[in-house]
Amino acid sequence: MRELAVQAISDSNTSADRTALNNEYKQLSAEVQRVAENTQWNGTNILDGGRTSTTFQIGANASQTIAVNFGDLGSNDASGSVTATTSATDAAHTSVITFTGTVASGDVISYKVDDTNFGAITLTADDAAAIAAGTTSEALTISTAAKGTTGNATAVTAAITAAGKITITSTEGNGKAQTITDVTVSRGTHAPVGGSDIKSSASAATALGVLDTAIEGINSTRASLGASMSRLEFASDNLQNVAQNSSAARSRVLDADYASETTELARTQIIQQAATAMLAQANQSQQQVLALLKS
Residue 136 has pLDDT above 60, yes or no: yes
- 3 has pLDDT over 60: yes
Strands 54-57 and 40-41: unpaired
Give per-residue pLDDT as tens, 246-288: 888 887 777 767 788 888 888 898 988 888 888 887 777 777 7
Give the integer Cα–Cα distance in Å for 5 and 7.
5
Measured CA to CA, the distance from residue 12 to residue 15 in angstroms comes to 10
Average pLDDT, rounded, for the chain: 80
Residue 258 CA: distances (Å) to CA of 255, 261, 262, 264: 9, 5, 6, 10
- Angstrom CA distances, 60 to 21, 56, 239, stand at 55, 12, 10
Q: Is 240 helix (H, G, I), strand (E, B) or coil?
A: helix
Of the chain, the end-to-end C-alpha distance in Å amounts to 124
The yes-or-no verdict on residue 89 having pLDDT over 70 is: no
Q: Is the pLDDT of residue 182 over 80?
A: no
Lowest mean pLDDT among 170-174, 197-201, 224-228: 170-174
Q: What percent of the chain has pLDDT over 70?
A: 85
